[in-house]
Structure 1
Amino acid sequence: MLDQMSAAPGKPIPAACGDWAAAKAAYRFFDNPRVTIAFSPAISRRLRRVLRRAKVRSCRTRPNLSTAARSRVNRIHQNHRRRALQGRAAQRADLVRGADAFEPGRHPHRHTPRSDGGEVLDTKFKGTLALKRHINPTRVPIETKESYRWLENLRQSIALVGAPERCVHVGDRESDIYELYCTAQDLGTSFLVRVQTNRLAERPADAASHDPAHRVFAQLAAAPWAGRHRITVDQDETTWLQVKFAAINTLPPVGKQKRYGPQVLTYIHALEEDPPPGREPIDWKLVTNLPVEDLSVAVEKLGWYALR
């Protein structure tokens, strides 16, 4: 057992033991009052700080016991309190959770974790899937995310210029945030951003329910090419781009449709025709709330993005 646990010091006891029988033996071994766990002074000090700051209290519940049994239980509890200064309390909390996971109800005198309000906390082991819970980032408010700085930069730029209608905010794919588009619309300013997310779009009237045409990229791909434009890649290298554009009614993410409404945005796609070997082709998808009526205006927006 010691070999198994020393080989995996960072893993929980069930994972380090490998199977149910070994984990059960480990819990019984640590539960033996004659077993003492010694920690290094640094770990002991750290555990004492954790115990002092803990916000979860523990109350004890016992069944009806005889006088001798109650005395023995009292001695065990006194030993537990003494060992808490060496980090024993933190270790026992882990053992109680593991023992309850393997043998529910076997130890009625164990600690019952409760919150500050007195509610019993659920310490049952719910499996590895519960440990891998994933929060959908599209349902998290933008104010609590790091990307909120893009919205703050937009407001600060408008405040410096003093005329939001004269500003065009150009950004890379990190700026592809639906809240930024809504904020720009509310402030009366313009933006030009490289697209990263294949957002929801209003389904065409003639599209079937299973048709993927309710996505922006699908509707942009269905639009015809408007023409070609020649650009200079390096000092002595030129190439041709195929350019198309389309106005698409873009929908907000599903988790934010109650807070934000749809927007009609113009998407511009520029794709290199014959890229040289050894280099990835130029493939830009841009989105803007500015009007794009012909090829020359679309090429102008490509030039703006190239100056970022």
Structure 2
Amino acid sequence: MSDVIFEVSEGVGRVTLNRPRAINALTTAMLADIGDQLSRWRDDPSIESVHLRGAGERGLCSGADVRALRADVLARGEISAEVFFSVEYAVDALIATYPKRVRADLFGIAMGGGLGLSAHCTERVVRADSRLAMPETIIGIFPDVGVLFELSRAPGELGTHLALTGGSIGAADAVLVGLADRSEGEVPAGELADRRGWIDECYAGDDPLAIVHRLAAHDEAEARATAALIRQRCPFSVAVSLAAIRRAALLPDVVSVLAQDLGLAVPMVLRADFAEGVRAQLVDKDRNPSWRPGRLEDVNPAEVAALFAGV
């Protein structure tokens, strides 16, 4: 069977991600096929809408197949990263600007590149088992695929909290932060609204180290635990993610954020942190990455600024 299944029924073009054993992780070939088919359906008057879903029971999509991307980057270098991200972001932009209604079913795990395909759709539906996240700071990169557009417009500093921690949220919170439109069935209450006080207070500003210090000194035990959590993330990724979400707040649309992402993604995956983060999380699974630099205190703000110079 193909890794992506395309079907048409009663004017609806159905896209089914079909790698259930990998929670439908995305490859370059899958993304290219989706882009080609969506382009054909866009110009086909018999197709009235599109429906995106995932095969299996575990979720819509766990994101890009970063193990394969890591291996390809280690073997072929910059060109492999340029090809993958150019194809991925072009599909995300196509969905974000699609002239027909696109529904996405964000069941189970919907993370990373899976949100790139779904979070910009016309109708984004979650359910009780939905778990959404942009966990890129865990593997040495930053929340990409245009999702910083939505996160930068979430209430208060909730989007900043999710971008820096890489934490996952359920259906109710997905609607709250603007990554989903509605839920189907009975879903549990969200958690983020009750945390707005310390999140908005601690995540203010453009200095990642100041944010961590405020979290660590806060009266709320959960804030202090979050400071420790961010300390476990890739320090350079945390700094880049904060700068990127602040810039995304000033950009007019998803396509503009995707353009920023493209300028950042290639140099980020060429850094040693990406290979090390994927190794620790998904290859050796020791969950003990060795980041360079190892602390937020040692991140050079000039190096972060230089990354954005050409964006």
TM-score, with structure 2 as normaliser: 0.23
Structure with the larger strand share: 1
TM-score, with structure 1 as normaliser: 0.23
Flag the structure with more relative contact order, 1 or 2, with Cα contacts below 8 A and sequence separation at least 6: 2
| Bigger Cα Rg | 1
